[in-house]
Structure 1
Amino acid sequence: MPLAVVEKLLALLETLDQSIDETPPADQLSRLGDKAYCAWYAKLDQEAEALVAAVFPENKAAATPEIAVYLKEVAGNSTRIDYGTGHKAALAVFFCCLCKIRALRVDDQLAIIFKVFGR
């Protein structure tokens, strides 16, 4: 079963990639973050719970809202339009949550590293 979760995580990443492709960079003169990111993040904010719910079994649905927060944190901050070490740490917490609800196991760590991180 957990390998199926890894495949679902890869599908989640593919969905996020498609969303990025659908949100072209803004035509702006700012040297700071691209304002199109805010539109992309707003879409992620709306869809995060559904994306997370698709990763693990229905009997774990109660965990969806909390884990979705970490998925959104992984993507950066839409107010400051930035990305830093705290956002990277959120990725570790996201995976930790999936392990805590037993969607992933310690035995899955190689698949997480080589398949998911590799993606």
Structure 2
Amino acid sequence: MSLADTVSEISHLSDEQQECIENCTRAAEVCEWCADACADEDGMGECIRLCRDVADIASLHARFMARDSDYSNDLASICADLCEACAEECEQHDHDHCQLCAEVLPECAETCRQMASA
């Protein structure tokens, strides 16, 4: 069963929440890959820190939404901020993993901003 199939089974989630969970999960995965790959590169400390922060907060935010936490919207704003900062950092690097990160994170930030204002 795919993530989208699993998320669609959670009855209390709106379509927008389902999309946000999928985007947060994708962001967490790509950031984990990017942080790991950057560990082999010199001068990538800020990229690693931001990617690890996004991976942690995005996965936490997805879990909060899945369990219908009252604090999910608060986390959404923080997640969006981190995604934007990380995307900006990753855009500066030519590595494939950084470029993919910079491509994926804006979509996560956008759906998180929608959740924060809901």
Fold match (TM-score > 0.5) = no
Query: Which structure: larger Rg?
Result: 1
Greater helix content: 2
State TM-score, norm by structure 1.
Answer: 0.33
TM-score by length of 2: 0.33
